[in-house]
Amino acid sequence: MSRKKIIAGNWKMNMTPSEAVKLIETLKPLVKNEEVDVVFCVPAIDIIPAVEAAKGTNICIGAENMYFEEKGAYTGEISPGMLVDAGVKYVIIGHSERREYFAETDETVNKKVLKALEHNLTPIICCGESLTQREQGITIDWIRQQIKIAFLNVTADQAKTTVIAYEPIWAIGTGKVATTEQAQEVCGAIRACIGEIYDQATAAAIRIQYGGSVSASSAPELFAQPDIDGGLVGGASLKPDFGAIVNYNK
C-alpha cells in the first residue's frame, strides 16, 4: 500500500491578507510536485484571499483551527460550514499551541475531529510530547492516550481519510529537529496504535506527518522513513525553502 505524501505549512499567526496573497504568488511555482499533496494552513482571515490566489494550482488551503458547533452564540469562533463554504479542505486540530495557550484538551480535539469529518473536512490531528515527558520515558504512552481519545467514535472508514501530525513540543520552533530514529519510532507507534483501535487496513491507509523544525536539509531523510508520510512545517513554510521541502524527493 503506498501512501501519497502530504506536506503542509502551518503559518500560525503570521501574514496579513495582502501578505498571504504575495507569499502564495511567490511559492506557487516552487511547490509543484505531482507526487505530494501540498496544503497551506493559514490564519482564518487569510482563507478567502488564499483560496482565490491558489486557484488553478496544486495548493489546497487549510485552516489552523475550527469550533465543534454548527452555529450560534460562540463569539469569535469559526464553524466547519464556514470553512467548507470558503473553499477549505483541511483543518489542523489540537496543535500543541492551541492546547497550551487556548486550553484545548483531548476531549475538545475529539469533538472537533468528529465535526470536521461530518463536514468532509480532512482533519490534521496533532499530538506530541513535552521534553519532560520524553525525559521520563513516557512518550509512547502519552501519544497513545492522545490518539485513542482523538479517535473516539471515529469509524475506520473516516479514520483512513484523516492525517495525524506527530509534533514533539520540544522540537517546535526551536531549530531542534527530532532525530530520524526518534521521529520514525513514534510515527511507527502511532500506526500500530491505529492498527489496534481499528485494523491493519486502516493503519496502512492513514497518513502520519512529522512536524517540528523541519527544514529543507532534514526533510529528505525524515520523509524517507517507512511510517512518515510527510510533514507539518511551521517557520520554513513562510519562505522559499518550503519549495525545497515539498520537492524533497527531487
- Catalytically active residues are 95, 167
* Stretch touching ligand 13P by CB under 6 A, among 47-55, 131-139, 188-196, 205-213: 205-213
Other C-beta atoms closer than 10 Å to the C-beta of 109 total 25
Q: What residue number has its CB nearest to ligand 13P? A: 234
CA distance 195 to 202: 7
Amino acid letter at 206? I
CA distance 86 to 153: 27
Count of positions on this chain that bind ligand 13P (CB under 6 A): 14
Rule CB under 6 A: is residue 209 a binding residue for ligand 13P? no
CB of 91 to ligand 13P, least distance (A): 13
**Three-state DSSP class for residue 165:** strand
* Residue choice 80, 123, 168, 212 for contact with ligand 13P (CB under 6 A): 212
Cell numbers 460550514: residue: 81
What does the angle CA 177 – CA 133 – CA 136 come to, to the nearest 5 degrees? 110
Sign for the CA dihedral angle at 204, 65, 69, 84 comes to: negative
Residues numbered 71 to 130 that lie near ligand 13P (CB under 6 A) are 95
What is the grid cell recorded at 205? 491507509
At CA 41, angle to CA 39 and CA 46, rounded to 5? Answer: 120
Based on the shown chain and the rule CB under 6 A, indicate whether residue 233 belongs to the binding site for ligand 13P.
Answer: yes
Asked if 61 interacts with ligand 13P (CB under 6 A), we say no
Q: Using CB under 6 A, which of the segments 17-25, 42-50, 73-81, 211-219 binds ligand 13P?
A: 211-219
Instruction: For residue 232, state whether it binds ligand 13P (rule: CB under 6 A).
Output: yes
- Exposed (0-12), middle (13-18) or buried (19+): which is 119, by Cβ within 10 Å? middle
By the rule CB under 6 A, 234 interacts with ligand 13P: yes
* Among positions 5, 10, 24, 168, the unique one binding ligand 13P when judged by CB under 6 A: 10
Nearer to ligand 13P, 129 or 167 (CB): 167
Contact flags string 131-170 toward ligand 13P, x per CB under 6 A: ------------------------------------x---
Among residues 112 and 198, whose Cβ is nearest to ligand 13P? 112
Length of the chain: 250
The three three-digit cell numbers of residue 44, written as one number: 482564518
Report the interface residues with ligand 13P, using CB under 6 A.
10, 95, 167, 172-173, 211-214, 232-236
